[in-house]
Structure 1
Amino acid sequence: MTPPPPTPELTVVGAINVDLTARVERAPAAGETVADGVLHRGPGGKGANQAVAAARLGAAVRLIGAVGDDLDGRGIRDQLVSVGVDTTGVQTSDAATGTALIVVDATGENSIVVCAGANAAIDAEALDIESGAAVLMQLEVSDAVVSAAARAAGFFALNAAPARPLPDGVLERCDLVIVNETEYAQLPEVHDAPLLCVTLGAQGARLYRHGEVVASSPGVATTVVNTVGAGDAFCAALVCGLLRGDDPDDALARACAVGSAAVADEASQPALQNLDAYEVAP
């Protein structure tokens, strides 16, 4: 009998938000008002989304970020703990908990305005990252936090979103960079990364090692409901698969299947199964 794969241990560093999502038939044009919105309030932020996804996929997850000393912050902490995320590294800030204002149309496409709040006040000198930890993070936090996390990590995976120039020395610390097609075009400096994943939406994803394709996977057909948390779920799945030793082709295929499941869910933090539930075609 084949033993189960080891449980990946992952520290996620990143933004924690309240998502205020308006679902509409059609997003408004500039200067236009649409009146058919249905409002949903829930947890979000790329850091929290990736941490929750990794926990639901079966990893042992610790989240580092910041929330405000307010009702939203306390509620988000409780929700994270309820899905098994260790929140002892989440700082409490004088600033309000971050908020994202999201419009999602009938096709699942979205536009987002982020009000950083506490996410902009994370104390980079107080990041509680265990020496040698595997770290996954994004770029919704300050350069100082990105740099501090890169220095502390044993394995460092960077989801370079939203795209911006990377702080000095960070790219050299990256073991894995994950971008979508737009970010890939905006960040030519990552093209020769030791391991680079480029997501292609419904077309799947490719994995490059120093610019050479080492794995590719087609997308998994589904009904698109909401694309907000899909990239975060994909990132969590890919990193978890690689950390537990999956073959790159298998890790990428499972990540594409997880991303497909995520876009079929209305929530920014979709209900996911254990990673092994996402079968890889022989």
Structure 2
Amino acid sequence: MIVVLGSINADLFFAVDRLPGRGETVLTPTVTVRPGGKGANQAAAAARAGAVAAFFGCVGEDSSGSDMLTALADTGCDVSGVRRVPGATGTAAVMVEAGGENQIVVASGANGAVAADLLADAGLGPGTTLVCQMEIPVEQTAAALRRARAAGARTVLNLAPARPIPPSALADVDVLVVNEPEARTLEGEAGTPLGLARNLAARHRLTCIVTLGGDGAVAAEADGTAWSVGVLPVAAVDTVGAGDAFVGVLAATLDGGGALPEAMRRASVAAGLACTAEGAMSSLPDAAVIDARLADLAPAGRLD
């Protein structure tokens, strides 16, 4: 079972011809409201990929929170662990230009009230994979990882957005997923993506996956074994949510007993498919769609 502790947002999407520069105003005719938040997106990705998934987080006492919960529940994810708190639901302003590149600003709102005590001890154990990100208070993410590790659960941390996290928290992580800038934030030094992955894996005794956008991903396990996977050839419309699709499907595949190379391949296919439609949660592919495109991406290869 997948358990996600994290953020849920109302995403305000602005489709623009080009992203604004510093101090610049760019006009667009409309704005669209869609469900999002890294935690909710990853829970939805896991559920749509066929996993039993439950999301734990907070929404405000507003209509936006109700709408976001309905959208997440519609993906097949259990939202009974979401708490209503005073104030506004988290909100993100998402600007997407032609070709799919984006800029995002998030007002945390109710996500600032998310706490590890939303998770019941009975829901953590050897049959559970806990997935966390960095859009809720860092100390609560660290507490959840600590409890899950003590209970025997698998732990997955997506260090996004990049924020400082205590090394003691990384000691409770089984699988760390970062992009290249996030990896450099942790390492504080230059190096190849594979070198960064190997250093982080060895230092913290975990599996580290570094995602590389259009260049796929590389991974290193604590014993030094390394893998790489490419990307699904697609015409990108909107890259928002691709990283969350990767993390959710990776976790779902590992939770279902898949090996790391298989999980990386399925995750990369899902991330590519998520780029072919607008929105974050709304672009996430289901298991049948992922399976239908697996043959279009070579298996993950082992690296020397």
Residue 147 of structure 1 pairs with residue 162 of structure 2: no
Instruction: Answer with 34-43 or 210-219: which moved more.
Output: 210-219
Contiguous gaps of at least 5 residues in structure 2: 188-198, 300-304
Is 1:67–1:92's contact at 8 Å kept on the other side of the alignment? yes
Report the Cα distance in structure 2 between the residues aligned to 1:271 and 1:164, rounded to whole angstroms. Answer: 26
Report the Cα distance in structure 2 between the residues aligned to 1:116 and 1:11, rounded to whole angstroms. Answer: 21
Q: Which residue of 1 aligns with 2:176?
A: 177
Using the TM superposition, give the Cα deviation of residue 176 of structure 1 relative to its aligned residue in structure 2, in angstroms.
Answer: 0.3
Q: Which residue of 2 aligns with 1:3?
A: none
Report the Cα distance in structure 1 between the residues aligned to 2:223 and 2:160, rounded to whole angstroms. Answer: 20
Report the Cα distance in structure 1 between the residues aligned to 2:228 and 2:71, rounded to whole angstroms. Answer: 35
Residue 110 of structure 1 pairs with residue 105 of structure 2: no
Letter in 2 for 1:169: S
* Structure 1 segment 155-234 matched on structure 2, within 5 A: 155-167=154-166, 169-188=168-187, 190-192=200-202, 193=204, 194-210=206-222, 212-234=224-246
Deviations 1:193-237 (A, max 9, x none): 410111011111111013734221111221111111000000011
Using the TM superposition, give the Cα deviation of residue 97 of structure 1 relative to its aligned residue in structure 2, in angstroms.
Answer: 0.2
Report the Cα distance in structure 2 between the residues aligned to 1:251 and 1:81, rounded to whole angstroms. Answer: 24
Residue 39 of structure 1 pairs with residue 51 of structure 2: no
Deviations 1:132-181 (A, max 9, x none): 13101101100222022102221110001111121352111100000011
Higher helix share: 2
Contiguous gaps of at least 5 residues in structure 1: 1-8
Is 1:202–1:221's contact at 8 Å kept on the other side of the alignment? no
Q: Which residue of 1 aligns with 2:191?
A: none
Percent identity between the aligned chains?
39
Report the Cα distance in structure 2 between the residues aligned to 1:88 and 1:107, rounded to whole angstroms. Answer: 37
Report the Cα distance in structure 2 between the residues aligned to 1:83 and 1:203, rounded to whole angstroms. Answer: 29
Residue 22 of structure 1 pairs with residue 14 of structure 2: yes
Name which of 257, 260, 280 aligns with 1:268: 280
Q: Which residue of 2 aligns with 1:131?
A: 124
Is 2:129–2:251's contact at 8 Å kept on the other side of the alignment? no
Equivalenced residues, count? 274
| TM-score where L is the length of structure 1 | 0.92
* Structure 1 segment 232-271 matched on structure 2, within 5 A: 232-269=244-281, 270-271=283-284
Letter in 2 for 1:47: G
| TM-score where L is the length of structure 2 | 0.85
Pair 272,128 (structure 1): closer, same or farther in 2 beyond 3 Å: same
Letter in 2 for 1:33: T
Is 1:235–1:255's contact at 8 Å kept on the other side of the alignment? yes
Report the Cα distance in structure 2 between the residues aligned to 1:224 and 1:212, rounded to whole angstroms. Answer: 33
Using the TM superposition, give the Cα deviation of residue 95 of structure 1 relative to its aligned residue in structure 2, in angstroms.
Answer: 2.1
Q: Which residue of 2 aligns with 1:5?
A: none
Pair 123,256 (structure 1): closer, same or farther in 2 beyond 3 Å: closer
User: SS of 1:18's equivalent?
Assistant: strand
Is 2:245–2:284's contact at 8 Å kept on the other side of the alignment? no
Report the Cα distance in structure 2 between the residues aligned to 1:168 and 1:191, rounded to whole angstroms. Answer: 13
Is 1:206–1:216's contact at 8 Å kept on the other side of the alignment? yes
Deviations 1:48-83 (A, max 9, x none): 111111111111100011000110111111222222
Q: Which residue of 2 aligns with 1:95?
A: 87
User: SS of 1:33's equivalent?
Assistant: coil
Report the Cα distance in structure 2 between the residues aligned to 1:59 and 1:121, rounded to whole angstroms. Answer: 27
RMSD: 1.7
Name which of 3, 10, 23 aligns with 2:2: 10
